[in-house]
Amino acid sequence: MDAGLHMENSRCLVADDGFKMGYQWMQQERCPQCREKERFANQVRSCLSCGGRSNTCNPEGYDKDLYLVLLEHWSGCCQVTVQAALHVTVEAYLQYDGGFDFKCLRRVFGQNYYRDVQNKIGIAAMRCPMAYGNWSERVFDRPERFGKMKPRFPPGKSQVADWNQWPDSSADTGWLWLTEGIFDSIPPELHRLGLPTLLSSNNALLVDVCHKTKRDRMAFVWMLDGDVSSCKYTCTWVVCVRSDGWEYFAAQGRGKISRKAMRHDPLDQADRAEYLYQGMLLIAEFISAKMPLMYKKRKRREVHCGFDKRAFWCHWNETRVYPVRPRGTKDSGHESCDLLCCVTIVIGQNTPISASDAILQRIVHLHFDRSGHTVVTKALAEQIEWMLIEQMFDFILATTKRDAQVLDTQANKHSQYENQLLVFPELERVRLAERLGQVMVSVDALQPLLNLGDAQSQIVHEVVIEWAKQRQQSINADDLHIQLFWQQCRFLDGKCLVTAS
């Protein structure tokens, strides 16, 4: 660090934070999180203070984040010499504020002078030359005077459909990583990733990039920012390369991938795998593509329903046609909507399901409580827990081998059980008898495989009949809001009677 900056930084640490000077270390600073005197800093490298309790507090802190006034006027705090006059300010900015080694960046970045005609002030700027006489310029010396100024480009030239790559870049032979902005490409380039830089998130000249980097059909990896615009364009470019047959990935952090983390620590395999995981979740087309990723990474068995970066509530009425049959489209042709999935939908929730009659008639309600827990059921549950996967697959295989027998039983006995349910006066819905009749005939079809006796099958049939009656009562019940209204009325009536008596 510059001698003047180092002396001023050490003075601020002692005066403001309570550091005690030692021979080599400054110690006993009060931690802002645990309020214990556990933080320390090296006198030679006082820009970084560390905490003694890394499990409970932030282990490291950079003083440039605390003393911004020291590192905002680079032209004033750097001693300019004749030999280093061309790059001393940008060198100080990249080294002290960015934490980079300027020796590796001297061939890429240079210093320039920018003058704002409207405000009539001049300022130091960092310039990066590009191909075809273009350049990109970033204002860094007290940039707050100019508002939110973005990187500048040559007047009359647009950065749209343009990209840049460092000279003699150590490009990875496998993937082509694409970053947003030249400054964001510094840490990955120093870690030997070799990234072409898109000057904006809405730039993607893929074929041009491959030809000029002497690559053919490489795998593209978009490592853009985590804001809404960058996520949108990442998905846009993925759609383009997907239609053209390119291999594609995305590396996305929760928010912007921290340059502070990347400049001090290499982008190792664990970090790269995490960023790729977040990116692949972003560009997943359907929930069916997202679920295997989440299960493989986090072992998650439930996922939220999302589309276009938004979460949606599921309407039960939309699910009634999923596992049933294909449907015709309302047009002049003969197209049909194939089944999205052919599965059994399991709804797990504590609150009652509020849906139309079509959904309520298709639901088999299973209520679980502790009333039936005994020593015998505990032993059976433990036996199921220790059951091998091969044994479970054996049941599925045995059922599949007897598919003809199962289908014959379904065809011959279904109408019998359906008529048996319709005899009960409590059942008013034909669809309800049809659905639960399928459950009853399934018990008979699987009876040889389950080793069930006739008495056990009869017990199951009686339980299914009770399910049908309970389901009919749920269908006939009033809306939940109406039920709550009458409950409140009965409560108030009872309270008034007690008061009068």
**pLDDT grade for 139, boundaries at 50, 70 and 90:** confident
Instruction: Kindly provide the residue ranges of all beta strands, DSSP E only, lying in 97-214, ordered along the sequence.
Output: 110-116, 121-129, 135-139, 163-164, 175-180, 197-198
Is it the case that residue 39 has pLDDT exceeding 50? Answer: yes
Q: Which of 262, 84, 77 is nearest to 183 (CA)?
A: 262
Task: Read off the DSSP letter of residue 152.
Answer: B
pLDDT given at position 267: 57
pTM recorded for the entire structure: 0.48
Name the percent of the chain lying above pLDDT 70. 53
367 vs 88: which has the higher pLDDT: 367
What is the DSSP track for 353-387? P---HHHHTT-------STT--HHHHHHHHHHHT-
pLDDT given at position 48: 46
Measured between alpha carbons, how far is 299 from 271 in angstroms, rounded to an integer? 19
Amino acid of residue 242 = R
The mean predicted confidence, pLDDT, of the chain is: 70
460 vs 391: which has the higher pLDDT: 460
Average pLDDT over residues 4-8: 55
Q: How far is CA 64 from CA 29, 47, 83, 96, in A?
A: 17, 7, 27, 8
pLDDT given at position 501: 43
- What six digits make up the tokens of 336? 């049909």
Boundaries of every domain in the chain: 3-70, 72-146, 163-306, 375-476
Q: Which of 30, 22, 79 is nearest to 52 (CA)?
A: 30
282: Cβ contacts below 8 Å, ≥ 6 apart: 231, 234, 235, 250, 252
The pLDDT tens digits of the residues spanning 422-458 come to: 999 888 888 888 888 989 998 888 888 888 888 988 9
CATH of 163-306 among 1.10.10, 2.60.40, 3.30.428, 3.40.1360: 3.40.1360
3-state secondary structure of 129: strand
Is it the case that residue 222 has pLDDT exceeding 70? Answer: yes
Is it the case that residue 260 has pLDDT exceeding 50? Answer: no
The pLDDT tens digits of the residues spanning 59-70 come to: 555 445 444 444
